[in-house]
Amino acid sequence: MAELINTASLKQMSKDPVIYLVEEQSNPSTDYFILPAISSLGLRAVHCGFEDMPSPADLEGACVIFVRYLPKAWSKLIEGVRANLHSLIFFIDDDVLDTGATAGLPLRYRYKLARLGSRQAAWLKNQKADLWVSNEYLLKKYASWNPKLVLPSPLPLVREYCRVFYHGSASHDAEIRWLRPVMDEVLSRDEHISFEIIGGRDVHRMYRGIPRVTVVHPMKWTSYGAFQSLRGRHIGLAPLLDTIFNKARSYTKYFDITRSGAVGIYSPNSAYAEVVTHGHNGLIVVLEQKAWAEAILNLAKDENWHRTMLLNAENKCAELEHIAQQSYAPLLKLE
């Protein structure tokens, strides 16, 4: 029977060594395989990116686990401290040690796997690194290395995320930029809030580095209708900066936000203020970034208030539809 990485085998680590997890970035390989094994024992894990280099003294008696990749800077560090390490481990959940196995994959990805994986196999064996693998196929393929099998565990259940969104087109570039520090603060203060925004590469670059941001590629109106109707959104943002162009805007975003099952936060002195009563069917918040951050955070944590305002917003949409229908007949002189 294959030797498993489980509580029994990890308990062989004497004196609870500090475990350094070396990973390119947060990834499913670590979360599904490595962290469950470590956390089951209450061992301390230090997450390190490729550039996060501890001192040789910090590695005294430590266990170093490379997740999928072995960066060059780290290999040089390990060579100098290998004799003082508790253990050295390389984990794979893809066949990154065999360049032939990557045939057919994009060339850039093949090069990455070769540079950080297969080209390091000889070095890993020379350093007497243990090999951990994710499945029976890899276990058999690398049997000569005497690998250990790591079984995956499901991710822990978390509280449902509150999804905040802004669906502005390219004509709202100023608002997209204005919201960046707002969402930076919101997402840093509440880990159960995520943010969805529509935009291209420029928006992706602008919001890079903020956690839990999803940038959706722009789409045609017909596709957006289906996308918009998908439930799971909670707070819609509709800031309108004080520009001449924005003075001609209507309040159709109020319909979009409500149709998404969300409560909106809107600008004062705008068309939205004509249909929104603050605190009743949405929020009207002064255009100050700190004020918008606080409004989002407060609304996100008050489910009852959110539920009541959403119902009121839906009723207001029905009222506005009735008013609009009454105005159509005179347009064609049918009354």
Instruction: Show the tokens assigned to 183.
Output: 């969402």
Closest-CA residue to 151 (of 91, 192, 104)? 91
Scanning the structure block, which residue is given the tokens 């796997």? Answer: 113
Chain centroid to CA 269: how far?
Answer: 34
Strand, helix or coil for residue 200:
coil
Say what the pTM is: 0.69
Mention every residue, 6+ apart, whose C-beta is less than 8 A from residue 21.
Answer: 30, 34, 35, 38, 45, 46, 47, 48, 65, 67
Per DSSP, 4 falls in state B
Question: Among 31-35, 81-85, 244-248, which is the least confidently predicted range?
Answer: 244-248
Mention every residue, 6+ apart, whose C-beta is less than 8 A from residue 11.
Answer: 41
Q: What percent of the chain has pLDDT over 70?
A: 94
Would you call 299 exposed, middle or buried from its count of C-beta atoms within 10 A (0-12, 13-18, 19+)?
buried
For residue 266, report the phi and psi dihedrals to the nearest 5 degrees: -125, 165
Mean pLDDT, to the nearest integer, of 283-293?
97
Mean pLDDT, to the nearest integer, of 200-215?
94
pLDDT band at 3 (very low <50, low <70, confident <90, very high): very low
Helix axes 289-300, 173-189, angle to 10 degrees: 50
Closest-CA residue to 281 (of 290, 289, 272, 271)? 272
pLDDT band at 102 (very low <50, low <70, confident <90, very high): confident
pLDDT of residue 123: 94
Mean pLDDT, to the nearest integer, of 237-260?
90
pLDDT of residue 60: 93
Residue 221 Cα distances to 65, 224, 225, angstroms: 48, 5, 6
User: What domains can be seen in the chain, in order of their start residue?
Assistant: 13-149 (3.40.50), 162-327 (3.40.50.2000)
Mean pLDDT, to the nearest integer, of 52-58?
92
Instruction: Show the tokens assigned to 173.
Output: 């570039």
Question: Among 25-34, 114-123, 150-159, 188-197, which is the least confidently predicted range?
Answer: 150-159
Instruction: Write b or e for each residue in 248-268: b if 16 or more Cβ atoms lie within 10 A of its Cβ, otherwise e.
Output: ebebebbbbbbbbbbbbbbbe
pLDDT digits (tens, 9 = 90+) for 293-329: 999 999 999 999 999 999 999 999 999 999 998 888 7
Number of helices (H), then strands (E), belonging to the chain: the values are 13, 12
pLDDT of residue 69: 94
Strand, helix or coil for residue 320:
helix
